[in-house]
Amino acid sequence: MMTLTEKWKLDGKLENLRENIIDLMDVRFGAVDETIVEKINKTNDIDTLRQILRLIGRSQSLDEVVKKLESL
């Protein structure tokens, strides 16, 4: 069982990853559609968020990211 402190740390890491993902998408591809932001903000698995971050770094376009996000 996770302690309250561990949960707060995890929540902080998740929130930080989400913000980094959205910021990177904005920098690389311009304004990010709200539906994509919602999907990212609903993701609570740290490994999935890390996969998304790497995906954005490797992708050439926002469309490519969106197509791959659908499969996650």
Distance CA 47, CA 10 (A): 12
Query: Where are the extended beta strands (E) located within the chain?
Result: none
Task: Tell me how far the alpha carbon of residue 50 is from its chain's centroid.
Answer: 7
> What ranges do the domains of the chain cover?
4-70
> Residue 20: what pLDDT?
96
The series of mean pLDDT values per 10 residues for the chain, 72 residues long, is 91 96 95 92 95 94 89 80
> Residue 40: what pLDDT?
94
> Residue 57: what pLDDT?
92
